[in-house]
Every structure is written in structure tokens, then in C-alpha cells.
Structure 1
Amino acid sequence: MAPTKTWENHYPVAIYREGRLKVKSYHRHKISQEHEGFTVENYLKNILQYSGRKIQKLTRRKGILLNGKTVYLQKKLNAEDTLSILDLEDTNYGVQPEKGAIEVLYEDDFLLVLNKPAHQLVHPTGQTTRGTMANYLAYYLKQRNVVSAIRPVHRLDRETSGCVIFAKDSRSQFILEQQLKERTLKRTYWALVKGIVHPPSGTIDAPIGPHPSLANRRAINEHGEQSITHYQTLRSFPEISLLKLNLDTGRTHQIRLHLAHLGYPIIGDRMYGVRSPWINRQALHAYDVSFRHLKENHEIAVHAPLPTDFAQAINFCDKP
């Protein structure tokens, strides 16, 4: 069921607390005839597409009002009721804003798609707290006087380049994650692999789990999580193939591990593949993403041009 218009009806409510004036903002929703009989909880989850975590947060803050009064989640709605939802605004970025270059491929009110360069982390991890896409994006938003937690919807390995989606708020993140689960959010990758792939197109369905001895690696494991990768050969060179890949699942290292398992490891991949004089990182690029617009529901497709090192590697493969 398509979401109703959500953010047009937005109004402030002034309240006094501890002797100080505070202003709360609410999103207001008029209940239509077709949604009469829904419980408040069902309406929040299925129509407004709020996550369970966000509903819990709203409940704790008494941020759900029905006709101006607090309400319990199992209360049934009537047509023409007004449901008002507290705007849980972000108070920080979640990372330290840091000046740095980002390439915005697409932006609207709900999300951004950035072009990640190779050798950069998507977000801080371990002892790396600076120099990531998340740090640079926080600075980009701060310069525009926007306070929003940095929410990557999916991630790429440090050495992989290409499209990464960031949601601008928790509701958008939840909807995009649902699109990922339902496979209406699609990701396409290009990879250069060793060998002439046979058959030239197919599906790799091999479960992935922890490596038995190396904590930073993954392994094909019959007790692991289902993992499905579709591939198609775009070009064949002497002893090298250029593949296009689509994911049904998004496990850690999935493409790299699946291709190595198939016998066609990614060139430049020092963990699962083979080193190459043509490129100093794994030749894997998140070529494009497509998803449904979060308000108007039409399809958006965003493409990340091949970076110079990847394009040069293809040229080297093509030389006699």
C-alpha cells in the first residue's frame, strides 16, 4: 500500500517544561475512509512505514497523538481522525564533520547517492575515525546548515569504488532498507576477473559464513547465510573477462568470494583474488543503483562513471 503524503502537514506546538519554552514539531495525518479500522501501530508500520525502533522511541516520548491526545498503539482509527506524530529531529551527525571532497551523483529531499573513490571507507570503523565518506558528508551538510545523522543504506569495501546511498532521515532509511529486502532497490557492479568465464552468464548460489580461522575474511559455508549473485560477461579479453553483476543479497565480501569460488577471482583483490600490475586495488566498481522515489514512486537510476584506474585496466587488457 502506497504511503500517504507525509511531510506536507507539519506544524509546531509550543510547550513549557522546567520553566523554559520548547517547541515540538508534529507531522499531521488525516485518516482516510480506506484506513478506518487500522490500529495506530498498523497505520504507522504499513502506511507511514515507520520502523519498530522508531515507534518505540515515539512511544517513550509520548510523541503519538490522536485528535490531540496521547493514544495507545492498539487503538483503532476512524475516518477523519487526525494522527499527529512528533518530529524526532537529529541533534548531531553521528560522526565528526571533516572538510573533504565528495561527488554527489543524485540528491533529493530524502537521500543522496555519492560516488565513492577507491581506498576510502564509507564510515568510521575500528581505529579509523577520520577521512571517511561519512565525515566528508557531515561537513557537506553542516555547510548547508542541515543537521542529520549520517545513514549509509548499504556499504562498499574500502577498495571498491562507485555508488553508495545515504538516507537523510530514519524514515527514508527504513523505506530504502525495505526496498533492499524486496529487491526494488537494485545494485549493479562491474568486475574484471581472471579467466574466460564459462558459462558466460549465470547465477552463483553459495551460502556465506565466517571464515574458520581468519576473522577478517568470509568463507563459503553450508551453514552460512543464503547468498545469490547473478553475473553476465560484457567482454572477453585474452585470459581476462569483464563481468556485470547483480545481487539478490548483500553479504560481506559476497561478489569477491563468489567469483573466487567459481574459479574466476577478481584481479587486484589481495584477499580472495590475484595481484595485477594493471591496477593497485580490486577491480570492482558499483556501476549503478536504481530505486523507487520515496514520494512519487517512479524509478530513479543513478550511474557512477568508471574511475580512471579501472578504465585503464580495461585498456591494458585490450592490448594485443
Structure 2
Amino acid sequence: MILKVVVGADHAGMRLDDGAKELFPQLSKTQIRRIIDWGGCTICEALVRVASRPLREGDLIALGVMEPERCVEISYRKEDLLFEDANYLAVNKAAGINSQRTPYQLKGTVEYAVETYMKSLGSKEPARVIHRLDRGTSGVMFFPKDKRAATHISFLLKEGKVEKVYWAMVAGVPDEEQWTVDAPIAKLNKFRYGVALPGREARTAFRVIAVGKGATLLEALPFTGRTHQIRVHLVHSNLPIIGDTTYGGDTAARMMLHCRSMAFTSRDGKPVQAIAPLDEGFLKACRDFGIETEGL
């Protein structure tokens, strides 16, 4: 929920947090300060993270109010990274964490944590989000360390020259060991996409990795990069992902979709690859359904 108000003459000159408390009486001062600190406050569409910032008449204040449980601090150390060289780094994004900033949040996102890590190395470069994972999806995310690296990997992503491998757990057992869905994807409403015409070309290859008791672990290779592509193509195959309630999947502790690996070739011809291990939530779901992950 985003709350907005225009500052009048009565509140001009007040500190942001004091003025906001009067202008948004439904929020406590503690809530307002948390929103400011976490990057959920803008004034005239510019991010403001200083509670003492003086207000001016005519300022448009917008506060993004999110659930307290989403205020999760994340940080990365060198030993946490999946890959790092002079041009790129890769992290294992956790399920339930936003890839990049939202109107509600800057801190607690992968983007913010990566930028903080880069600053610790003395870099002045921003964390450039050149590909995203849905909030419920875990796994590999690559970040370029400078503009030239960003241009290179962005070109490779656009040309389909980055190999991305996902693992997904679905209820039931597919009729085939492997198959490909070649079906256009279109936006249906604010939250959902689906196979529809007119839509954007989308193609995903699927392969059975392991079968358990009432569930199957699949490998998915998206050849295009449409929003919710794997999720939509699995629904189209009558195999919604467990935990993906948006698309009819069974309720679970998390959405069982994980970017297992990404690989591409650097500007100087060197292979670059990162592989992300499954988290405990995904592993527990595998154990619950009798799917053996040892050695995969």
C-alpha cells in the first residue's frame, strides 16, 4: 500500500518524520522511521532516507507500507558469493527476497546487498540488475561490476546466449520424460500471465530429474526470458509448481522454483558459471515427497 499527501504551509519546515506523523496519523513514528530507513519514502518522486530532512510546502510525500515480516536484513560477504572475478559476481538469492528495489523497499533486497558489498571493495558502481528472479524463486543471480560488463551480459541475455537451468517441483508425474513448450505468453492482469494470443514468443524445454511420491523434480531450460515463463509453461502443461498458489499450485512453505545455474562466455572468451545449492526449505520438500537429491 502506498500512501501519499501534499505538504501544506502548516507543516513546512518540520522534520520529515515529525511532519509525516501528523500527515499520516494511522502510522506510528516508529513505522514511519522504518519506512524511511528501508527506502520506502519518496518526496516529489525522489528517494529520501534522512528522517531529519526539512519539509517544504508543496512537497509530495509517498510512503510505501509493507508487512513487518518482509523487513529482513541481508548482506553478502566474499565467502557467500557463488562466483566472483574482475567483471562479475553471482549470489544465491533466497526465496522470499526481492531481487531489486520496489516502491516499498530498498534495504533487504538483493540489489541493495550487492551494492553494499561492492562499496566494501571500494567500487563506486551501482548494482545493475540485468536479470531478475521472482520474489518466491531462489537461486543464481549475476551482477556485472561495471558498465562494459553489463553491456556484454545484457546483449548475451537478449540473444539467448546465457544458459539458465532451473529446478522446479510439481505435483504428480508428467506423461513424458522430456518435452518442450513453444507457446506465446501475454499479460492477463496485474499479477498473472498466461499462454495467449497476441503474446510474446516463449519456449521452454523440460526434463524429469527425479520422481517421488506424488511429486516430480523437473529441470527447465528457458530459451526466452518472458515474465513468469517457467511458471506459465508448467501450468500450460497441467503441472503447476508446488507453492505457486498464484497459478494454482498446492500450498507450501515456499514456491518450489530454483535457478540452479547460469553460464555464459565473458568478453575475453572465458567461461563464466555459477551453481546454486538448494536451500533447506526446498530440500525438506524433496524429502517429504521421497525425492532423493543426493548426487544431483
Q: TM over 0.5, yes or no?
A: yes
- Matches of 1:114 and 1:224, distance apart in 2: 32
CA distance in 1, matches of 2:101, 2:209: 34
Q: CA deviation at 1:280?
A: 1.1
| 2:244 matches 1:304 | no
1:250 and 2:225 equivalent?
yes
1:188-267 pair list within 5 angstroms: 188-211=165-188, 214-267=189-242
2:139 match? 162
Shift of 1:261: 1.1
**1:117 aligns to 2:90 (yes or no):** no
Match of 1:61 in 2: none
Matches within 5 A, 1:1-320: 100-102=74-76, 103-211=80-188, 214-276=189-251, 279-295=252-268, 297-318=269-290
Task: State how far apart, in whole Å, the 1-side matches of 2:266 and 2:111 are.
Answer: 23
Deviation of the 1:236 alpha carbon = 1.2
Instruction: Point out the structure with max Rg over C-alpha.
Output: 1
State the Cα distance separating 1:163 from its structure 2 match. Answer: 0.1
Q: Any gaps of 5 or more consecutive residues in structure 1?
A: 1-93
State the distance in 2 between where 1:185 and 1:95 align: 36
Counterpart in 2 of 1:81?
none
Which residue of structure 2 aligns with residue 37 of structure 1? Answer: none
Q: CA deviation at 1:301?
A: 2.2
CA deviation string 1:105-158 (max 9, x = no partner) = 101111111110110011102322221011111111222221111112210000
Q: Residue by residue, what CA displacement relative to the aligned partner does 1:53-108 show, whole Å, maximum 9, x if unpaired?
A: xxxxxxxxxxxxxxxxxxxxxxxxxxxxxxxxxxxxxxxxx998x97322311011
Q: What one-letter code is carried by the residue in structure 2 that aligns with 1:190? A: W
Conserved? CA contact 1:207–1:226, under 8 Å: yes
1:260 alignment partner, SS class: helix
Return the letter of the residue paired with 1:117.
Answer: A
Partner Cα distance (1:148, 1:299) in 2: 24
3-state DSSP of counterpart to 1:138: helix
TM-score (structure 2 length as normaliser): 0.70
Offset at residue 293 of structure 1 (A): 2.4
Aligned AA for 2:264?
F
User: What residue number does 1:19 align with?
Assistant: none
| 1:131 partner SS | coil
Task: Report how many aligned residue pairs link the two structures.
Answer: 220
CA-based RMSD: 2.0
Measure the CA separation in 1 of the matches of 2:146 and 2:230.
29
Cα distance, 1:184 vs. partner?
A: 2.5
Distance 1:169 1:268, change over 3 A: same
CA distance, structure 2, for counterparts of residue 285 and residue 130 of structure 1:
23
The answer to whether the Cα contact below 8 Å between 1:292 and 1:300 also exists between their aligned partners in 2 is yes
Q: Percent identity?
A: 32
Unaligned runs of 5+ in 2: 1-46, 50-71, 292-296
